[in-house]
Amino acid sequence: MMERAPTSGTPLKEVQSVTPEGERIGPSIDGLVVRELRTLPDERGELCELYRSLWELGDEPVEHAYLATVRPGVVKGWVMHHSQDDRIAVLFGAMRWVWYDERPESTTAGNVVELTFTERNRAIFVTPANVWHAVENVGETDAAFVNMPSQHYNHADPDKYRLPLDNDRIPFRFSSNGK
């Protein structure tokens, strides 16, 4: 987790967050895959590939996709799925995504990962089954993402589990009110 601004008069020393080559460093979660997406502008506009099967973002085909938005200052989460992976591509806005690995058998159990994406640094990421995740719109406009989960949504029996934002299981607190 990133260091926050000090709450008292004691300054906090910055810690390294990227290599000289620009690669992110810090805690990870087993099975969490993040791939930066390139946006290619020209005189007509922009193009950004969201998904290619060659990127190795899971063995399951894309059979279901949906667009979701998050209003400024709103937090969506905490959610977790028991049998599906989420493959999420960030489109517009400024979003802070947070993951928590509660899987007891995982080599990264107890880890929290926090990453921020915008339309200037888009990404697609895979959230593995049984990993809690939430998203906060930290920008001033609506934010949007596309999810291409590894399974169809089952309306009669959704594979979706929720926790309140403030809970005693996840060691992370959002600063906004999570409208």
Summarised one tens digit per residue, pLDDT across range 52-85 is 888 878 788 888 899 999 999 999 999 999 999 9
- CATH number for the segment(s) 33-162: 2.60.120.10
pTM to 2 decimal places:
0.82
CA 110, 20, 34, 6 torsion-angle sign: positive
Residue type, 164: P
Backbone φ and ψ for 173, nearest 5 degrees, come out as -125, 130
Both tokens assigned to 94: 């400024």
Summarised one tens digit per residue, pLDDT across range 158-167 is 999 999 999 9
Q: What is the dihedral of CA 153, 158, 160, 163, to 10 degrees?
A: 140
